[in-house]
Amino acid sequence: MKVIETALPGVLIIEPKVFGDHRGFFLESFQVERYREAGVDLPFVQDNHSRSERGVLRGLHLQHSRPQGKLVSVSRGVVYDVAVDIDPASPTCGQYVGVELSDDNHCQLWIPPGYAHGFCVMSDVADFQYKCTDFYYPDDETGLVWNDPDVSIPWPIATPRLSEKDQKLPTLRQLLNGEE
C-alpha cells in the first residue's frame, strides 16, 4: 500500500494495492502489521457503515473526552471527506485536509483521535465505512459547523442536506472558547 502524509500531523491518505482483472478486484482493506508500520497503531473497537444520498453532509463530528481515531473508506459512490485540526496547541489548528474517497480510487483516510471529521456525498448514493478506536458516546459528541468561515472548507456542494443536530454545531472559535 502507498501511504501519503498530509499537511495535518498524523492524518494519512492510504492507497491500498488493488488487484483487478476481468472478474473484478481484490484489496486488503486492513492488515494490522502493515497499518502499524504506517503509523496507524491504535486498536479498533467499533466498525460503522452509513449510506447517504447525493448532497448529504455529515459532520463535522468529534467526541470531547473519548476522541475516536477513524480509518474511513467508501465501498460505493463518491464522497468528499474532511478532517479538521481542532487542537488549540497545534500549529495547524483550524486547518483541514480534504480528499475524495470513492469506490473507484479505493483510498482510505486515517484520522487520528482529536480531529473533527465530516463528509459530503457527491454521487447518487454512497456507502461509507469507518473503523473507530473508541466507542461512540452520544453525550460526549459535539462538532464543528460545516461552513465555518474561519476554516473555509471548499465543499463541492453549496446547499447540503444536514441533520438538525449538524445545523446547530458551533464554529471553531466557539468550540475552542467552550461556547457550545
Cross-strand bridge partners of residue 111: 70
**What pLDDT shows up at residue 178?**
86
**What pLDDT shows up at residue 126?**
98
How many domains does the structure of the chain reveal? 1
What is the arithmetic mean of pLDDT over 35-61?
95
What is the arithmetic mean of pLDDT over 154-161?
95
Examine the pLDDT at 88 and tell me if it is beyond 90. yes
Query: Where in the sequence is the domain holding 134, given as residue range(s)?
Result: 2-177
pTM to 2 decimals?
A: 0.94
Please list, in sequence order, all residues whose beta carbon lies within 8 angstroms of the beta carbon of residue 180, skipping any fewer than 6 positions away: 142, 170, 174
Buried b (16+ CB within 10 A) or exposed e, 119-154: bbbbeeebbbbbbbbbeeeeeeebbbbbebeebebe
Examine the pLDDT at 48 and tell me if it is beyond 80. yes
What is the arithmetic mean of pLDDT over 121-137?
97
Q: How far is CA 102 from the centre of its chain?
A: 13
**What pLDDT shows up at residue 28?**
86
DSSP state letter for 148: -
**What pLDDT shows up at residue 10?**
96
Cell of 31: 492488515
| Termini Cα distance of the chain | 40
State residue 168 phi and psi, 5-degree precision: -105, 10
Catalytic residue among 35, 61, 80, 117: 61
**What pLDDT shows up at residue 27?**
83
CATH of the domain at 7: 2.60.120.10
Banded pLDDT at 169 (limits 50, 70, 90):
very high
Examine the pLDDT at 143 and tell me if it is beyond 90. yes
Using CA atoms, how far residue 72 sits from 44, 118, 139, 168, 178, in Å, is 12, 10, 23, 24, 28
Q: Catalytic annotation on 61?
A: yes
**What pLDDT shows up at residue 128?**
97
Cross-strand bridge partners of residue 52: 126
Cα separation of 74 and 108, whole Å?
Answer: 8
Q: Catalytic annotation on 130?
A: yes
Catalytic residue among 35, 117, 130, 137: 130
What is the arithmetic mean of pLDDT over 151-157?
96
Banded pLDDT at 179 (limits 50, 70, 90):
confident
Examine the pLDDT at 180 and tell me if it is beyond 80. no
**Which of residues 107 and 24 earns the better pLDDT score?**
107
